[in-house]
Amino acid sequence: MEQQLDFLVDKVVAELQKKLAELGEKTSGPKAEAAVEGKAAPQQGIAPVTATKPQETHSAPAEPKGTALIPNPKWKEGLDELLASTPARIGVWRTGVRPLTKTMLQLRRDHAAAVDAVYGEVSQEVLDQFSLFTVETQYDNTENYLKRPDMGRVLTEESVRLIQERCQKRPQVQIVVSDGLSASAVDANLKDVLPSLMDSLKSYGLSCGTPFFVKGGRVASMDHIGEILEPEVLVLLIGERPGLVTAHSMSAYMCYRPRKGMVESERTVISNIHRQGTSPIEAGAHIGTILAKMLEQKASGVKLVL
């Protein structure tokens, strides 16, 4: 999907450059030529996009991440070092007093992806792939979920009944998945995180209860689930708040004997699980290692020694 969006951004920019080039040929002159972003690009160290032969695939070429578009920076080494240390939008340069058209289109694309992550729903196909049944919190709807975090921490009565009927009581490890603030994070990462986590648990000789999916869940929903199932340890794989760098980031919150009234310092977390951050496969393996240490030390959060 991201490659297709990049392709569309490049195609729009190419068409704009083509139209501006045609306009420049008709009006000609220094001002007209300066208005054509595609012609100005070579002076800024940016190769112009060719619009005469449209792309035949959806994997569009894009500027390498971490590449400055500033022409002749005064301190290139420092700028390169800064770019290598962060995925933030820096060194994007400008056309006149505004950002480049492609930069603006990419910004709007990433903002739209963030909105879709919050208001979207996890694919049923993904849940079916891992045989995850669905329960819900008392969030009611997305607008209410955003305004009332407390309602995303408590399961509905029907959900409590369903968990009691279908889940193993007092498991050694309980795995829970939730959309949280990014349904896209679950769609993008679960297929790598969950199998890796299961393999890791198996390698440590740990048994797992019945995994399930919580719709409209907050982190503290793991406390309510802990009260119902009484697992030794619980891990909640949940979508993080999306940003303009990625809308697909997942976190893994882990806790020893979760229960209502727990404070945040009693939780252990691995965050930024996505393909540009912590590798989903590596994260799954590492989660298994942490859970094994929790069981060994009978502790989590700040009391756990990693």
* Coil/strand/helix, residue 236: strand
Is residue 281 within 8 A of residue 192, CB to CB? The reply is yes
| 240 annotated as ligand-binding | yes
Is residue 183 within 8 A of residue 121, CB to CB? The reply is yes
Round to whole Å and give the CA distance between 32 and 24. Answer: 5
Round to whole Å and give the CA distance between 287 and 198. Answer: 10
Angle of the 183-203 helix axis to the 280-297 helix axis, nearest 10: 50
| 136 annotated as ligand-binding | no
Beta-carbon contacts of 112 under 8 Å, excluding residues fewer than 6 positions away, are: none
- What's the chain's length in residues? 306
Annotated binding site: 219, 240
Q: Residues at the annotated binding site for adenosylcob(III)alamin? A: 219, 240
